[in-house]
Structure 1
Amino acid sequence: MKSTEKADKNKIKNIFSYAIALSLGLMAFAAHADDCDFATGQGPLVYTVPLTTPNITIGADVPVDTIVHRQRITTDGSRTPYLICHTTNSALPFDIEQYVHVTNTPGLVPGWGGKYAGKLYVTSVPGIGVAVVNDDGTSASVGQPLDFTPLFKWSYPSTQFGAASVMIRNNFTLVFVKTGPIAGGLINGAQLPTVVLDVKGSRSVTGLPRETYRENFSGSINVIAGTCKTPDVTVPLGSYSMDKYFNGSVKTTPWKPFNITLTDCPAFYGTYTNSSNSPGFSVGGAQTPGLRGLNRFVMNISPTFGAIDALKGIIKLDGADDSARGIGIQLATGDASNSSPVPFNLGGAYETRVDSGAPGTHTIPMQARYYQTETRVTPGTANSKAVFTINYH
């Protein structure tokens, strides 16, 4: 009887020792389970990004579906969140996957079918929409506009960065698009979408998924839109004797300079649309102004009575009963100091760039003269008309 009791006690001790060993094994396993957490002070983070360009001018004739402004946003390494991750087996790391999306969005541009359709949001300026376009990650994700659905950017093994420290970064661009007539006003940064970056594991990981950081916007962009007044212009060309002009050796009269004057113009600040050199803001880093594109006047001239030679800019006279015959009027661009102005190609357009930080007046210098177009010239009045049209870009 005593021998049996002793055997039972030994059996109990063995079972107990196995239980302890099993428990220790489980504890050791738990200490190395898959998990991720932020390094101290490294996340989750919230940033507020200012709109950096104070003023832009968008010409009234810029076509709908044109990009009218860009701003790039990056994150400096000193402001980049870091995750500390552990894995049960360094030979079999789990993947950390990054996804980006937007939230707190205003409404979509109603009925929009142009650039970034379905992902272009209204701004506080009617006629301008905004898209948030991803700038880094896989080739499939770069250039993609964001919405509520998380966009996969990239993944990498949890052990890729040495001591299980995983850097989280996010680059994107705000792209502003003309969606209709623009009256001007302020684009309010606080009303733009919020950009959110999340991470998750390729398998079940303690601490994932989670938000790493989000970016809101502040400040404003002053949008100028408008046109100039263009009063009529009368150009006196003078009277000429046929003994001196149109006699076979002299076929033209002297150039007469005049200006097409544009008054009550808005300020022309230009725009920033260059995709490789747009204004940039780095959270915790440098701010870059970007390459400014100047506004443009584009002028077309349509002769009321038709053209004799469109390439040379020669227009017909009005054909009145007392009108001269055998001559026309030649139009050219260039100011009075230019003795050889450039003939205005009536089939094309004249373009000039404009840069001004305040409302004012602008001029397009031109010249005109009589031009013999036939062998025989008959004297008389020599009047004509033309309509000039200015497009603003």
Structure 2
Amino acid sequence: MMILFHILHLAIRKNMKYFLLLLTGLSCWIQQAQAYTCTLQTSMTTISTANITIARSTPIGTEIGNTSTAITPIYSCTNSDPKLTEQIFGVKAIGTYVMNVGDKRIYSTPIKGIGYAVEGYTYNCQTDVWSGWVGGGTNVDGNANNRGLCSIAGILPRQPITGMINIAYYKTNEVTGSGTVSPGVVAAFILRNNGSWQKESDVSVSSLTVTTIPCEVNQTVISVAMGDVEKKEFKGIGTWPDDSNTKKFDIPLTCNPDAKVNVQIDGDIQNANQGIINLTASNNNATGVGIQLLFNNTPLKLGAPFSTGTTTINGLYNIPLQARYYQTGNTVTAGEANATATFTITYN
């Protein structure tokens, strides 16, 4: 019994010694891992963007808006033996990649034909300002969404580590939509210590409203030749010459599909409900007549928008109008009979 007890006691002592050695090794490892520290000073930055309006003819790849963070302290690091052997600071784009514009990767928004790119700046490298777009190159770890800005063997010399992110918006499709982009994270500041990524500092953009102007006016000045009309063609107030004297003309537009197009005609109005405008004053003016404007053979109401329909294709859209002389007075006298009006195009 005595011998057995002695052997058991020895085994316990050996196990205790081995356990203490493990503790000692763990203590040394913890001390080494904590030789440097990096604290995330700014976990989230939110920026706002001015609303964007896009013309239909804007080329694909055109920058249509941008917004930036302020210069912001992101990380604060300290270093002691054993020191960091490598530190890399950069930025990251967050989203769904759709195309490249030059050296920039473009990421989609929920609105058709609208995307964004991410650019980073840092003031913590050894000299001057370092900047770059997320474009697939200089990505540190093979992730095309990352962009390294500053890399050093050791710790970045200027602390805290500060940075700025620029978000630029681009047209990515021939036809663009309209709507509101909800707030969301689009980018982040990133830091890599000895090959290990640290917690990211996110950048969020507040809601953004995008408006696409779906049509363009192809001809801003439209001349309508009314021709000569005999006085005898007028039969009294509210009459007009033979329909052969009614002149057709178009307001030509180029539009995206599904645009609801409205027109408003303004001028020197004689009777808004009947679509009649007064003649332009001159030394040799005709009297007793005005010019009546019509849409689909019906007098159009002046000074108020009216619907011309909805476009169905991507291309030419003509608004068909008509003009004719209209008797407004008891007596018609001969003379010049010119008039001018302006038109305004709006969309729903």
TM-score over 0.5 for the pair: no
TM-score bucket of the superposed structures, by smaller chain: 0.3 to 0.5
Q: Which structure is richer in relative contact order (CA contacts within 8 A, separation 6 or more)? A: 1
Q: How does the TM-score come out when normalised to structure 2?
A: 0.45
Whichever structure has more strand as a proportion of its residues is 2
